Amino acid sequence: MKIIVQKFGGTSLDTAEKRGLAVEHIKSAKELGYLPVVVVSAMGRAGKPYATDTLIEIAEEACFNINPREKDLLMSCGEIISAVVMVQSLQKTGLAATALTGAQAGIITNDNFGEAEITKVDPMRIVRYLKEGIIPVLAGFQGITADGEITTLGRGGSDTTASVVAAAIDALYIEIYTDVEGVMTADPNLVENARILDKVSYNEVCELAYQGARVIHPRAAEIAMKENIPIKIKSNFNKNSGTLIHNQGLRGIKGNRPVTGVTSRRNIAFIKISPQKPAEYATGLIVFKILASHGISVDFINIHPEVISFVVEARNSEKVKQLLEKYDFVFEFNDGYVKVSVVGGGMTGRPGVMARLVEALNQEEIEIYQTTDSHTTISCLIRIEQEKESLNALHKAFKLDL
Q: Give the integer Cα–Cα distance in Å for 205 and 216.
A: 8
Side-chain half-sphere of 176: how many Cα atoms within 13 Å?
Answer: 31
What pLDDT was estimated at residue 252? Answer: 42
DSSP collapsed to 3 states, 141-181: CEEEECCCCEEECCCCHHHHHHHHHHHHCCCCCEEEEECCC
Digit-coded pLDDT (tens) for 136-183: 999 999 999 999 999 999 888 999 999 999 999 999 999 999 988 899
| Residue 120 domain flag | yes
| Residue 315 domain flag | no
| Residue 110 domain flag | yes
Give the number of domains in the chain: 1
> Is residue 22 within 8 Å of 87, Cβ to Cβ?
no
Statement: residue 248 has pLDDT above 80: no
Query: Could you give the strand order of the β-sheet that contains 135-139, starting from the edge strand earlier in sequence?
Result: 97-100, 135-139, 35-40, 3-8, 174-178, 231-235, 243-245, 199-200
Residue 62 class from Cβ within 10 Å (0-12 exposed, 13-18 middle, 19+ buried)? Answer: exposed
> Is residue 278 within 8 Å of 306, Cβ to Cβ?
yes
pLDDT band at 253 (very low <50, low <70, confident <90, very high): very low
H helices of 274-402, in order, are: 282-293, 317-326, 353-363, 387-397
Backbone angles phi, psi at 92, to 5 degrees: -60, -30
**What does the DSSP 8-state code read for residue 327?**
T
The candidate with the shortest Cα–Cα distance to 165, out of 104, 117, 122, is 122
| Residue 273 domain flag | no
- The residues that bridge with 268 in the sheet, in sequence order, are 313
| Residue 326 domain flag | no
pLDDT band at 251 (very low <50, low <70, confident <90, very high): very low
| Residue 323 domain flag | no
Q: What is the largest CA-CA distance in the chain?
A: 75
Digit-coded pLDDT (tens) for 277-325: 655 556 678 899 999 999 899 999 988 888 899 999 998 999 999 999 9
Name the 3-class secondary structure at 386: helix
Q: Give the integer Cα–Cα distance in Å for 44 and 207.
A: 26
Range of the domain at 157: 3-179
> Is residue 6 within 8 Å of 175, Cβ to Cβ?
yes
| Residue 132 domain flag | yes
User: Which of 87-91, 130-134, 175-179 is least confident?
Assistant: 175-179
User: Which of 98-107, 150-159, 254-263, 322-331 is least confident?
Assistant: 254-263
Interacting residues of 79 by C-beta distance below 8 A, sequence separation 6+: 40, 41, 42, 102, 139, 140, 141, 142, 158
Q: Give the integer Cα–Cα distance in Å for 153 and 157.
A: 5
- What's the CATH code of the domain at 148? 3.40.1160.10
| Residue 156 domain flag | yes
Residue 311 class from Cβ within 10 Å (0-12 exposed, 13-18 middle, 19+ buried)? Answer: buried
